[in-house]
Amino acid sequence: MVEIGKKVPDVKLLLTGNREARLSDYRGRWLVLYFYPKASTPGCTQEGLDFKEAIFKFRRQSTVILGASRDSLRAQERFKEKQGFPFDLVADTEEELCNAFGVLKMKNMYGRQVRGIERSTFLIDDQGVLRHEWRGVKVKGHVDDVLETLKALKKG
């Protein structure tokens, strides 16, 4: 599992647009990798819209944003298109990325235990090293927190 101060594993990604990439493809730029439980649900939509609203602030910091869930590529494509997200989404149907970042947890849903994604965000530097993580994220104010942390880390 990932650890702050260590390189993240070079996991293969299936991105919207039916493109394959690897985490190492983002070296040279900072990366915000955020995990959400399910495409097109209220909290996940709001989180994506908050990142969309702040996209130019992240781009000014030479930072790429990727959203990830276990949804199918088709579901991710529809979610991205409907919301107009200016960043790619990852269809992690095999859970390789989720497992590498340790975001799968047992959760209560309608009185029964289900395995799902704990809303989490990871800030990875331009060398592929994990610099900060947020687990059990509450959507409100989260994107601003990520941006401020990014700026502080880049200043040193």
- pLDDT confidence of 109, banded at 50, 70, 90? confident
pLDDT for 61-92, tens place per residue?
999 999 999 999 999 999 999 999 999 999 99
Task: Assess whether pLDDT exceeds 90 at residue 156.
Answer: no
CA distance 56 to 28: 18
| Confidence (pLDDT) at 97 | 98
pLDDT for 14-65, tens place per residue?
999 999 999 999 999 999 999 999 999 999 999 999 999 999 999 999 999 9
- One CATH from 3.30.530.20, 3.40.30.10, 2.160.20.60, 3.40.50.720 for 12-151: 3.40.30.10
Report pTM.
0.96
DSSP result, 19-76: EEEEGGGGTTSEEEEEE-S-TTSHHHHHHHHHHHHTHHHHHHTTEEEEEEES--HHHH
Task: Assess whether pLDDT exceeds 90 at residue 1.
Answer: no
Residues serving a catalytic function are 44
